[in-house]
Structure 1
């Protein structure tokens, strides 16, 4: 499986003799091992991947152990009136009599209780835009975290009652299912981030590893935040919002850098990449120094949106320089991601204007956003592999982000109730998703349903051309595949293989050239670059379709050969019957002829029959041999009519005529000569036959009495000539000669394919 999401395929690339598409200033495209040079031993890569898997598992285990040992108050809460937390259930005896009461404040031993509401229970302040609200919630979370860490928590309920409870470790059971699901997803993203650079160690794939590991860390933070409880560990309460923003900023910087280098190396990429990382590093330094307070949220989101828009602009620039389909697909993904981020930022900026009972819902959108962005990153290496599950998962995560954001906007802008806004947003989002789902797939993946209609239009014509000219099999196959897939480039390259395969993460489709005919000595592969004129990537479905095309071409050739064998056997049988039956009868009639004229007539008929049966029985008709037979036949006919024949032939090649071609030209010449004998009363006939670069010309002129051919009635004779010439794709024309006679010119432009130099 090709896992290179950032493969290099330059516009100046062509397919050299080695068969490897190369970069103008970078490494070669990743082609299968059958075409590439010897692949280095991958034992160390397996060991590295095993080590990464062990590190990932240990990280998840230590994280789970830390959260399981984190102090905890065994209680279940739900949102009550005026954004207060209402105690639903607790196994602790001290809290059982307070079930159903609303929590007012929380404190610790020797610490004055501070107000604590449902919004404070949603741990992350990453997406809280109001500085005052952000600081108030941060103080409440810090107080709760210190109280839990000290082991003594004071809960103040709305009725004035105070309860002091000793915190205890929560254990693994109380981590919750969401913690394990998000941790497993983070583990998958983490491992893919290692697999990609290990499969193909290059700078672009290391940038992908940076993106994947940053999003894996985001998912682990979301997993920690999903654990039920009053507060995060103390060390994460203040740093968690900053870590989330920095991880997204690092992801954006890595994406921008990758776009500058891959798949097309843009001018000034070094300077631009340096500027990207300087800005990102400057933002990180100012964030750690707390110089962006109290507008940290706005600065962070502004940086992410600028990175996203810059990425779209750079991808558009890259696509204008070379129509690489991977660029187009990535631009679609980036556009969708930026739009989702913009809508999310707009919705959470209205948190302070929302009713207090709706505000905690605003914190669900960021978690959905993290899952969406991580799934997009995870999808990138498989974008040409049609991973339907991952694609659908990313799309549903994006739709969920949109639905949550729209719900919050309805509440904030139109003052809808929570139930009304949620119902309306879900209805609109799911309805829009169902209506434009296929359009979204086409826009994100550039996929289309390939059909074989155009293939069958050319299939049998190409099969017959290959049968006639085996050395053109590769060119004809390239033409057929070009008609089906419409690539920007198609060329024969070296290599071998039994099945078609994709390379360059979908940029290249390699189709093996089969042995279509026994006489052919071709080998190699047809390399197609940039499907549908650079609008989409090749997929495994395309490889399977290419294999079906080759299979159908082989079947067409086999069918054509079988039909030709049947025709040949039937012609041989007919020729044998004519020779044994009609020939014997004519021979008997010749010996019993009552006059010399009748004997000569029968003799000439026998000669015609001999020519016909020899032509029917012959398996091959080389042009030079056929021309000699035509000359002999025409000489006999004209001598009987006391007419002189002047014959001239000039052939630049000696192709083998098909039975249809031989029969048609033979009958055309006989009919034209018969017309001269019967109607023109000529004394001299000149026949010229020429073949030049596959173009056949036949000129028959006489000195007879025929004039004004435009008024001739085209009966069976002339009509048959026109029909046969047209069947071979040619034209026929009669015109007057000066001072007397008629000239007939037959022009067949494609009797045989023109020869080409290797």
Structure 2
């Protein structure tokens, strides 16, 4: 039995093919309906409350039409209004429909005789209507409706079981039938058959109402569910009483649906505000709302601007509703982006870009109009002044707001270079912490987590909630979640910023490691020469030295070995180091007449240079104090390996007050061992007892580590 995912994928593919086929079918049907309308060899245009005929270079005012079907018809400007539902009353609307019937009957003939005021009579021949005859008043709503329908169907096909995508598809269907019906009757060359015209008007009004109710229903449950799905469905099907009321002429006028659309717009804005409150702690929901809010704001403002301009001109009937569908397309694209959650992490950046450009356009138009109508400047000077004011006033302000509100804490090149250098030159054990601290300071994420798996560059995940970045720990990467303390999303700007930082740091670390490899190779060569040449010569001299010279040569040989180990920055065998220290101490104590009891140590442990230096210097300091101050006859040294090296040096001398240690080097002893990761404890009773502790490592040696 196929899985639920496989079934959903199969249903989605079938739905998408069905939507594509339906889109093509609606396109063909609309073109057929538009091309079937009768057309003649001239164009009638309504302007200044009159009808004009334009044919080529000729234009004249029409006083009458006639042909064998209709003896005489006096055309009126209202006969050619693009949107009959903008007529003031139902009586005017009914008169328009009846006159359309007369014009349609006349259009069935082979010609129309046109009577022109003050000009000869023109005979217009009927001719086939072709695609090239279709005007933008047809193409604008048709293309918009088909695009919207296909996008809505595509989003629904991706997630066919979700209520929100179904509502989006209803929204697309409503806008499409409203647009396609208006494309046919709004771009008519002369007339539309009355029954077809009335059917197209019903579809136009029903589609517009469905567009509004479906957006309201969608916003009731998305991005956050404000109410139950049943209430959303009730809102969706409220389109039925609206259509019934419109057909029963209960809305007051033919354009009563415009009032309904206005109420829907207010409801949409109210629900957007409610969603803004509901998503204040949900970055992804807020980003989806940004797509929708910006598109609704732009589309609504654009459409209301067109309506206002035509209303101010005093001729609202001349307003081409085809332009409205471009505004609806903007709204729908934002709606589709929000529901499909398309690149939510870029919503904020795009919102500011769109709003900034829209505000610039509005300011430019307002300034230009004010300079022309208030300051009485000419059009060219007014446009120039408006452009200068926008360029030197608004644009700098826009850039400042962009840097402050959108770019946030984006680092400049100097700060980025300094931060990268700080991490590059940090100790290898500290780089991971410094890198995490830098990212935390830049983006203020709620969480920074180490996760398995290497990544080579920053990558956005989880629709912008997470940003996965490289780490200095092998086999791991870092996941930064919910930037700006959970109030934002990661976007391309942050992704690009981290990639640049990591590239700088990675290149710097690679260069530093290459330098250190070269320096280490050179140190190894020098250390090998010291060990093989100088050490060998000292060893030869030790074989023939007298009793006074031998301790000096032994000490020099031990220093050569310590220096070689230090230059290699590698660990040395602990038993060899202790043997050298024991031999040196024995020689010095024997010369002072003090006996030494120190059992040799056989161990595979190793000790690094810092610990070796602390151990050698510490034992020398202790032996010097015993010789100078203790008056002891014997020194006993005990060596124990248990969670590190513990070396206890005790003498049988006169002791001293451990609180009065100035001048004998013991405070420096504690500091030296603490810096090497160990500690030194001093006690005094019958003699003095010094306990030294250092961490050591058990491992196999090779090369210069195993010097002999």
Q: 1:304 aligns with which of 259, 265, 271?
A: 265
For the aligned residue pairs, the C-alpha RMSD in angstroms reads 6.3
Name the CA shift for 1:667/1:220 in 2 (closer, same or farther; >3 Å).
Answer: farther
What is the rounded CA distance, in whole Å, between the counterparts of 2:71 and 2:642 in structure 1? 109
Q: 2:28 aligns with which of 31, 43, 61?
A: 61
What is the rounded CA distance, in whole Å, between the counterparts of 1:568 and 1:376 in structure 2? 60
Name the CA shift for 1:460/1:697 in 2 (closer, same or farther; >3 Å).
Answer: farther
How far does residue 575 in structure 1 lie from its aligned partner after superposition? 1.8
Q: Secondary structure of 2:280's match?
A: helix
How far does residue 110 in structure 1 lie from its aligned partner after superposition? 8.5
Equivalent residue for 2:88?
133
What is the rounded CA distance, in whole Å, between the counterparts of 1:344 and 1:141 in structure 2? 29
Q: Given that residues 608 and 633 in structure 1 are in contact (C-alpha distance below 8 angstroms), is that contact kept between their aligned partners in structure 2?
A: no
Q: Deviations over 1:367-407 (max 9, x none)?
A: 44223223423544433486999989976996799689979
What is the rounded CA distance, in whole Å, between the counterparts of 1:446 and 1:109 in structure 2? 70
How far does residue 90 in structure 1 lie from its aligned partner after superposition? 1.9
How far does residue 532 in structure 1 lie from its aligned partner after superposition? 4.5
Q: Given that residues 305 and 338 in structure 1 are in contact (C-alpha distance below 8 angstroms), is that contact kept between their aligned partners in structure 2?
A: no
What is the rounded CA distance, in whole Å, between the counterparts of 1:328 and 1:699 in structure 2? 68
What is the rounded CA distance, in whole Å, between the counterparts of 2:365 and 2:238 in structure 1? 29
Name the CA shift for 1:146/1:635 in 2 (closer, same or farther; >3 Å).
Answer: farther
Q: 1:84 aligns with which of 22, 31, 49?
A: 49
Equivalent residue for 1:576?
528
Q: Given that residues 182 and 219 in structure 1 are in contact (C-alpha distance below 8 angstroms), is that contact kept between their aligned partners in structure 2?
A: yes
Equivalent residue for 1:172?
131
What is the rounded CA distance, in whole Å, between the counterparts of 1:280 and 1:448 in structure 2? 48
Equivalent residue for 1:28?
none
What is the rounded CA distance, in whole Å, between the counterparts of 2:12 and 2:275 in structure 1? 33
Larger radius of gyration: 2
How far does residue 588 in structure 1 lie from its aligned partner after superposition? 3.8
Equivalent residue for 2:158?
199
Q: Given that residues 38 and 189 in structure 2 are in contact (C-alpha distance below 8 angstroms), is that contact kept between their aligned partners in structure 1?
A: no
Q: 2:278 aligns with which of 304, 313, 317?
A: 317
Q: Secondary structure of 2:279's match?
A: helix
What is the rounded CA distance, in whole Å, between the counterparts of 1:386 and 1:309 in structure 2? 24
Q: How does 1:93-108 map to 2 (within 5 A)?
A: 99-101=59-61
Asked if 1:597 is matched to 2:561, the reply is no
Q: Deviations over 1:482-502 (max 9, x none)?
A: 666554445566789988765
Name the CA shift for 1:668/1:499 in 2 (closer, same or farther; >3 Å).
Answer: closer
* Unaligned runs of at least 5 residues, structure 2: 696-708
How far does residue 252 in structure 1 lie from its aligned partner after superposition? 1.4
Q: Secondary structure of 1:319's match?
A: coil
Asked if 1:366 is matched to 2:332, the reply is no
Name the CA shift for 1:175/1:608 in 2 (closer, same or farther; >3 Å).
Answer: same
Q: Given that residues 459 and 556 in structure 1 are in contact (C-alpha distance below 8 angstroms), is that contact kept between their aligned partners in structure 2?
A: no
What is the rounded CA distance, in whole Å, between the counterparts of 1:560 and 1:528 in structure 2? 28
How far does residue 84 in structure 1 lie from its aligned partner after superposition? 3.4
Asked if 1:667 is matched to 2:628, the reply is no
Count of residues paired in the alignment: 657
| Higher RCO (C-alpha under 8 Å, 6+ residues apart) | 1
Name the CA shift for 1:504/1:205 in 2 (closer, same or farther; >3 Å).
Answer: farther
Q: 1:235 aligns with which of 176, 183, 198?
A: 198
How far does residue 67 in structure 1 lie from its aligned partner after superposition? 0.7
Equivalent residue for 2:19?
52
Q: How does 1:419-438 map to 2 (within 5 A)?
A: none
Equivalent residue for 2:289?
331
Name the CA shift for 1:385/1:534 in 2 (closer, same or farther; >3 Å).
Answer: closer
How far does residue 174 in structure 1 lie from its aligned partner after superposition? 0.7
What is the rounded CA distance, in whole Å, between the counterparts of 1:105 and 1:424 in structure 2? 49
Equivalent residue for 2:701?
none
Equivalent residue for 1:121?
81
What is the rounded CA distance, in whole Å, between the counterparts of 2:562 and 2:40 in structure 1? 108
How far does residue 313 in structure 1 lie from its aligned partner after superposition? 1.3
What is the rounded CA distance, in whole Å, between the counterparts of 2:621 and 2:481 in structure 1? 57
Q: 2:561 aligns with which of 610, 629, 632?
A: 610
Q: Secondary structure of 2:548's match?
A: helix
